[in-house]
Amino acid sequence: MPMEWWYSPWALGLLGLCVGSFLNVVVHRLPKMLVRQWSTEAAEILTSHEEVAATGAVSATEAQGLANRAQALLDGLAKLPRYNLWIPRSACPACGHQLAWHENLPVLGWLRLRGRCSACATPISARYPLVELATGSLFAAIAWHVGPEPKTLLWCAFAAVLLAASFVDWETTLLPDVFTLNLMWAGLVAAALGWTLPLNDALWGVVGAALALGGISKAWKWLRGMEGMAMGDVKLLAALGAWLGWQMLLPIVLAASAIGAVVGIGMKATGALREGRYVPFGPFLAGAALVVMFAGKERVMAWLGWA
C-alpha cells in the first residue's frame, strides 16, 4: 500500500475511533487514579506527626491522632486491587460484567448492544460512542487539512490530548498536569525539531501564557482573596502557546471566554449548573485552540484585523 494511504482521512479516521476508545478509559480512570495517588501523598505527610504539630495548627496529641488516621488510610489504600489504565479489564460498572472484545469495538460495540449492558441491561452512557466519533472525525479532518505527511500524526496527538483533558475537566473540574505539562513539553520539542512553528514563537507562547494568565490570576487572588483562574488552565494555555505560538494566546482566551460565558449563563439559567460549581474553562480553551489549528495563524490574525 502506498505511504499516503496511511495518512488518508479514512485511515486516520479509523485510528481516531480506536484512540477515542482508549480516551474513554483515560477519562473514566485517570481522575480516580489521581485521587488514589493524592490520598496516598496526603496521608504520608500526615503520618509525620511532629512536623504537622510544628505548624502550630493542632496540638501534639491531635497531630498524633491525625497520624493514626492517616496510617489507617495508607493501610486501606495499600490493600486496594491494582487500578490503572490497563488493569482491570473494562467492565460494566453496575454488574461487573467483563466486556467481550466485540462489545469493546468503538461505536459498533455500543450500537450492537443498543446502549445497554449485555448482562444486566443497565444503560451505557452515549458519551462513549460520542467520544469515539468525535476523535475519529477530528483525526479525519486533520488528515484532510494537513495532508498525507507524518506531521498529521503530530496534530492528531495534540487533538487527542485536548479531547481527553476537556472531558476530564468537564466532569471533574480537574485539569491534570499529565495532560497539560506533557503537551507543553511536546509542543516545545516539536517546535525545536522544526516540525510545527518557530521555536521562538513556541517559547514566548509558554512564557506569555504563564506571565499573562498566571499574573492575572495572582492579582485577582490578591485583590479578591479567591482563585481567579485555576493553575490547570494556565498550564493548558501555556501548552497551547507552545503548539500555536504566542500570537494565538489572546485570540484563544477571547474566544474561550466568550463561548464559556454564553454556556455558563445558559447552564445557570436552565439549572444545569449545580450550586457552588463552576463551568470549567479548559474545554473552551481546547475548543478555541482546535479552531485556531484548523484556521491557521494568518486567517486568525486577519479575523482580528491584525494582518
Summarize as ranges the residues that interact with Zn ion (CB under 5 A). 92, 94-95, 97, 117, 119-120, 122
Taking the least distance from each CB to Zn ion, the nearer of 92 and 286 is 92
Q: Which amino acid is at 227?
A: E
CA of 199: how far to CAs of 3, 138, 202, 205, in Å? 29, 26, 5, 10
Taking the least distance from each CB to Zn ion, the nearer of 95 and 211 is 95
Taking the least distance from each CB to Zn ion, the nearer of 120 and 192 is 120
Question: Among 112, 131, 95, which residue's Cα sits nearest to residue 103?
Answer: 112
Taking the least distance from each CB to Zn ion, the nearer of 117 and 248 is 117
Q: Least distance (Å) from Zn ion to the CB of residue 2?
A: 44
Q: Least distance (Å) from Zn ion to the CB of residue 121?
A: 7
CA distance 24 to 22: 5
The string of DSSP codes covering 242-288 is HHH-GGGHHHHHHHHHHHHHHHHHHHHHHT-SPTT----SHHHHHHH
Taking the least distance from each CB to Zn ion, the nearer of 122 and 125 is 122
Q: Least distance (Å) from Zn ion to the CB of residue 166?
A: 27
Q: Least distance (Å) from Zn ion to the CB of residue 123?
A: 10
Question: 282 Cβ partners below 8 Å, 6+ apart?
Answer: 165, 166, 169, 170, 175, 232, 233, 236
Q: Least distance (Å) from Zn ion to the CB of residue 46?
A: 38
Give yes or no for a contact between 174 and 232, defined as CB atoms under 8 angstroms apart: yes
